[in-house]
Amino acid sequence: MSQSYNEVAALSYPGELVNILSYVHLRNIYRSTGVGRVSRELTERLHATPGVNLHVLADPADHSRVIPLIGNPWQAYQYHFFKSETSAQQLRWILTNRPAAEHYWNDVDLVHCTAESYVPVRRARLVVTCHDAQHFEAGAHRQSVWLMKQRLKWRLLFARLEREVDMLQMISHFAAERTAHFFPNLRDRLRVVPNAASDSFFAPADEQGKAVLHQLGVQGRPFVLVPGGLQFRKNADLILDAWPAIAAAVPDVVLVIINHADETYLPRAKALGDRCVLAGFQDERQLVALYQAATLVWFPTLYDGFGMPVIEAMASGTPVISSNTTGIPEVAGNAAVLLSPTDAKAHVRNIIELLRDESARAVLAALGRERASEFTWDKSASKLLAAFQSLV
């Protein structure tokens, strides 16, 4: 039975000073993808909030390598370091429940794990940001040894969280409902604080970012941007099956695929010739330029707890075609074309129609910008801090 989960109200006043220890995987916030941007934005906004004294718990090797590349404000933060490599330290915390956060900072009031992970606490409260339950869902991933290992790792983590965590911050009501389905003992500790698009996606792309358009050969050309890479969960099979019909109907359009492409899909992608560009990872400046220059963004994901590409594309003023399942409708509202992720013909038909209809694209772009503006990182950080203060 589905349940509506409380979405935390924004904080209306700073409240008393709270000491927050944020556990951040620093390697994920440099040249970050969606999860890394969430960690970065929440940490930066919380640190800048009156009434917050925020320190960062991190891997010292990551700090030495990453922070000089990121610069401020991260160089100015106060850090506490654990001794082991991140994965080894995480396993030690989960299995032995030591050392506790107070070992690193005795005055900590609350520990915030900015992604799915665990830090033991004694006096302090523990909050973990959780994105979805994808590793437990049938059909979200292909069956594989990798998936078996991931499920084992995540079951160990969630078994510990069921015993220890004070609150799980969920990024959508869908993600909360599915997490409660698999871990009912956590149901009463789930609170929804949604993601948002970074400010850079609302602003015009800079010249450094726009250079990627020339590098990829799409400057001034119509192109469909696929931001989810070529992966099973991001519906690579439908994308590769549908594209030839789209390319035949609209002869000048190019398919640009960014982020990771699984090797199993590369032969099919390369067989599409120069009408398909595999662009790999793009940093945020380049990503903004690609979103803003794209004719439309295509994100037919099979499973997403939130769908960062949807909110980022809408913030960029680009029309979106995505899926009508999982967390996507909650984010997109009526500001995107949402289709079944198993209906390739519907995707072909709607993409062709939208590529040919400039006025329809303009309407969707305006609706998308308005919808994206409802989600801000300042608002999310304020809601999260309100939840923190209710615990301490």
User: Does one domain contain both 131 and 267?
Assistant: no
**Same domain as 339, residue 322:** yes
22 plus 86 within the same structural domain:
yes
Is the pLDDT at 3 greater than 60? The verdict is no
| DSSP, res 7 | B
4: in domain: no
Other beta carbons within 10 angstroms of residue 64's beta carbon come to 11
- The answer, yes or no, to whether residue 4 has pLDDT greater than 70, is no
**8 — pLDDT class (breaks 50, 70, 90):** low
Residue 32 confidence class, pLDDT cut points 50, 70, 90: confident
Pair 96, 216 in one domain: no
Per-residue confidence (pLDDT) for residue 17, from 0 to 100: 86
Q: What is the pLDDT of residue 24?
A: 98
Q: How confident is the model at residue 15 (pLDDT cuts 50, 70, 90)?
A: low
What is the per-residue pLDDT for 1? 38
Q: What is the CATH number of the domain that holds 279?
A: 3.40.50.2000
Count of structural domains, the chain: 2
- Residue-range definition of the domain harbouring residue 160: 18-196+376-391
Whether residue 2 lies inside any domain: the answer is no
**Residue 365 resides in a domain:** yes
Position 255 pLDDT exceeds 80: yes
Q: Which residues pair with 226 in a beta bridge?
A: 257
Tokens of 332: 């997109």
- Structure tokens of 222? 């119509």
pLDDT of residue 313: 98
CA 70 from centroid of its chain's CA atoms:
19
In this model, does residue 329 exceed pLDDT 90? yes
Q: Does 192 share its domain with 240?
A: no
Is 1 inside a domain boundary? no
Together in a domain, 366 and 384:
no
Under the banding of pLDDT at 50, 70 and 90, the label for residue 31 is confident
Question: Could you give the angle at the alpha carbon of 285 between the alpha carbons of 281 and 286, nearest 5°?
Answer: 45
189 and 210 share one domain: no
% of the chain beyond a pLDDT of 70: 96
Taking the C-alpha atoms of residue 69 and residue 90, their distance in angstroms, rounded to an integer, is 25
Residue 311 has pLDDT above 50, yes or no: yes
Strand partners, 338: 322
* Model pLDDT, residue 6: 65
Among 269, 276, 284, 274, which Cα is nearest to 212's?
A: 284
Same domain, 175 and 292: no
First-to-last CA distance in the chain? 31
Which tokens is 51 given? 């009434």
Task: Say if residue 231 is in the same domain as residue 288.
Answer: yes
pLDDT band at 2 (very low <50, low <70, confident <90, very high): very low
| pLDDT tens per residue, range 40-82 | 999 999 999 999 999 999 999 999 999 999 999 999 999 999 9
Q: Tell me what the mean pLDDT of segment 127-141 comes to.
A: 95
Q: What is the pTM of this model?
A: 0.94
**Distant-in-sequence, close-in-space partners of 343: CB < 8 Å, separation ≥ 6:** none
Which DSSP string do the residues of 113-160 spell out, in sequence order?
ESSS-----SSSEEEEEE---GGGSTTSS---HHHHHHHHHHHHHHHH
Q: Identify whether residues 41 and 122 lie together within a single domain.
A: yes
pLDDT digits (tens, 9 = 90+) for 201-249: 999 999 999 999 999 999 999 999 999 999 999 999 999 999 999 999 9
- Rounded Cα gap, residues 280 and 10, in angstroms: 37
Amino acid at 10: A
313 in a domain, yes or no? yes
293 and 317 share a domain? yes
Is residue 3 in some structural domain?
no
Average predicted confidence (pLDDT) for the chain: 95
CA gap 9, 29 in Å, rounded: 27
pLDDT at position 26? 96
Query: Contact at 8 Å (CB) between 275 and 254?
Result: yes
Q: What is the pLDDT of residue 83?
A: 93
- Decide if 8 is inside a domain: no
pLDDT tens string 96-107: 999 999 999 999
Question: Is 218 among the domain residues?
Answer: yes
Q: Do residues 207 and 190 share a domain? A: no
